[in-house]
Amino acid sequence: MDLSCVPDYLNYLAFSKHRKGHGIHSPFVFSLVSDVFRNKIDPDIVCTIEKTRLSLLEDTRLINVTDLGAGSRIMKPKLRKVSDIARYSSVPKKYGILLANMSRAFGKSGILEFGTSLGISAMYMAAARPGAELITMEGCPETSEIAKENFRKSGLNKITALTGSFDELLPELRRKGLSPGLVFIDGNHRREPVLKYFDEVAEMSGPESVVIIDDIHSSRSMSDAWNDIKKHGKVSSSVDVFRMGMVFFRKGITRYDYTARY
């Protein structure tokens, strides 16, 4: 975490009192925090995916990484070990489970992911919603190929992995009429691109959709982007769990920005 975001974390600790939904007046958000966040996940799903993670953590192959976004603050060289990418770039188990629960609750009409990396987050979302199509986009060809290999080995055949720039891939998905129920944005950690992609996603999404943005407090730029997203005219409610932010477009919800402990 960028040191400039320490005050954000302290505020989060001070105000995130809705661990089990207590004090939340919106029935929808209360159910989200008390039921969806706390839902039980099939332990076989976790075991399978975490075995994949363990294999990646032991993978000493060197690959050339193409960073089309802000890049990693920890891993600067273009030539990186797969094990380091798995350690620093893959979503942690705790938040993989959260994504799985969100996928099961909201991903019925399809899932769109910005930033495949090695495929751990996509695997959690796809495994929890086996009947839904998941489209994941990745700018780096070499990490994308490893992710596809992981998908094949795990038998998750409803994942479509696209390789290329989000700026090129997203317009094509819009032209095809994609309207996902769940969107996970984790591929570019700069304010202007994140806001651009969110605007496009908001246009594609229906009132039942949810958009999750990763690393919303990883830098001052991302915190600013998150604050702007919460003010978007289509957003009806937001939930901040510090690492991730979630926004909803539902009608009939009292407009409010929640901070929830996860």
pLDDT recorded at residue 197: 97
pLDDT digits (tens, 9 = 90+) for 127-152: 999 999 999 999 999 999 999 999 99
* Strands 79-81 and 111-114, bridge-based pairing: unpaired
* Beta pairing partners, 159: 134
Q: 239 — phi, psi (to 5°)?
A: -135, 125
Topology of the domain comprising 3-50+92-259: Rossmann fold (3.40.50)
Residue spans of the domains in the chain: they are: 3-50+92-259
Q: Is pLDDT larger for residue 255 or for residue 49?
A: 49
Percent of the chain scored above 70 by pLDDT?
88
**DSSP-assigned states of every residue in 56-77:** HHT---EEE----SS--SS--S
The rounded distance, in Å, linking the Cα atoms of 246 and 28 is 13
Mean pLDDT of the chain: 91
In angstroms, the first-to-last Cα distance of the chain is 17
From edge to edge, which strands make up the β-sheet containing 111-114?
A: 159-163, 134-138, 111-114, 182-185, 210-214, 244-248, 237-240, 256-259
Burial of residue 33 (number of CB atoms within 10 Å: 0-12, 13-18, 19+): buried
Which pTM was predicted?
Answer: 0.91
The rounded distance, in Å, linking the Cα atoms of 175 and 171 is 6
pLDDT digits (tens, 9 = 90+) for 88-97: 999 999 999 9
pLDDT recorded at residue 1: 54
Yes or no: say if 58 and 83 are a contact pair by the CB < 8 Å rule. yes
Yes or no: say if 124 and 39 are a contact pair by the CB < 8 Å rule. no
pLDDT digits (tens, 9 = 90+) for 75-89: 557 899 999 999 999
Which of 50, 51, 116, 59 is closest to 89 using CA atoms?
116
The rounded distance, in Å, linking the Cα atoms of 59 and 224 is 36
**pLDDT grade for 72, boundaries at 50, 70 and 90:** very low
The rounded distance, in Å, linking the Cα atoms of 83 and 89 is 10
Q: Which residue has the tokens 């960028």?
A: 2
**pLDDT grade for 52, boundaries at 50, 70 and 90:** very high
Q: Which of 7-11, 153-157, 246-250 has the lowest mean pLDDT?
A: 7-11
Residue type at position 240: D
Give whole-number Cα distances, 132 to 24, 103, 105, 116, 251, in Å.
30, 9, 12, 17, 24
